Amino acid sequence: MVRVLFAGWIAVCAAVGLFAPAPAQDSPAAGTPDDRIPGLMVYEVESAMHRRGAIPYDVIPPAGGEHHPIWQDCGFYQEPIRDRHAVHSQEHGAVWVTYDPALDGEQLALLEQIAAENPYVLASPYQDLPSPLVASAWGAQLYLDSADDPRLFLFLREFIGAGPEPGAACTDGTSNTVTFPAGTPVATPAATPG
């Protein structure tokens, strides 16, 4: 149902030119605009090596790079996850949608539904995002204002399976989360009927 609804919105928005460009990238890494999707930034990923411990990333949230040997299980999370695990999932072809911890319940419910319908989508809260949501894949990133932005579905279609190891597992890794610092606003998903 969601795919049909948003496929129609994508067609309408593309026809009338309603796509707005994303905010300028303020990451220290130099990204390159890509016209496949309005606002899309692409990055050259130099390494896919496995490393243990803390890993610094130039693009925040990360869009590929060195990562932990264990990947993050795909799905919807209400607590943050470790970058290094999510990047390993991106290597397997996952798209990681990070969201502002204060995102409203309706938006969270939609993200949860998107993650439930797509086995290679990972969604988790992330502090200090440059926009309410950021979709990141291996070497690509898109800033979004809402989960119902048609560009999110274009991004998913374009980048699910686009990592260096497409089709590798996005389950049976880790589902561990980390705790937000005290005082961080955390929304909860809206109750879903049924």
CB 119 within 8 A of CB 74: yes
The tens digit of pLDDT for each residue in 65-84 reads 999 899 999 999 999 999 99
Query: Per the domain annotation, does 140 fall within a domain?
Result: yes
Provide the 3-class DSSP secondary structure of residue 43: coil
Residue 48: predicted pLDDT: 80
% residues pLDDT > 70 (the chain): 77
Query: Per the domain annotation, does 191 fall within a domain?
Result: no
Whole-model pTM?
0.79
Query: Per the domain annotation, does 45 fall within a domain?
Result: yes
pLDDT greater than 70 at residue 191: no
Residue 119: predicted pLDDT: 97
The tens digit of pLDDT for each residue in 94-123 reads 999 999 999 999 999 999 999 999 999 999
The tens digit of pLDDT for each residue in 163-183 reads 999 889 999 999 999 876 655
ω into 61 cis (within 30 of 0): yes
CB 22 within 8 A of CB 144: yes
Query: Per the domain annotation, does 165 fall within a domain?
Result: no
Give the highest mean pLDDT range of 21-35, 39-53, 75-89.
Answer: 75-89
Cα(13)–Cα(6) distance, integer angstroms: 10
Give the count of beta carbons closer than 10 Å to the beta carbon of residue 83.
23
Contacts of 150 (CB under 8 A, 6+ apart): 6, 9, 10, 13, 14, 19
Query: Per the domain annotation, does 80 fall within a domain?
Result: yes
Residue range of the domain that includes 92: 2-159
Kindly indicate the confidence band of residue 11, based on its pLDDT and cuts at 50, 70 and 90.
very low
How many domains does the chain divide into?
1
Lowest mean pLDDT among 47-51, 60-64, 145-149: 47-51
Identify which of 72, 77, 54, 91 has the alpha carbon closest to the alpha carbon of residue 174: 72
Lowest mean pLDDT among 3-17, 137-151, 178-192: 3-17
Query: Per the domain annotation, does 169 fall within a domain?
Result: no
Query: Per the domain annotation, does 188 fall within a domain?
Result: no
**Average model confidence (pLDDT) across the chain:** 82
Query: Per the domain annotation, does 105 fall within a domain?
Result: yes
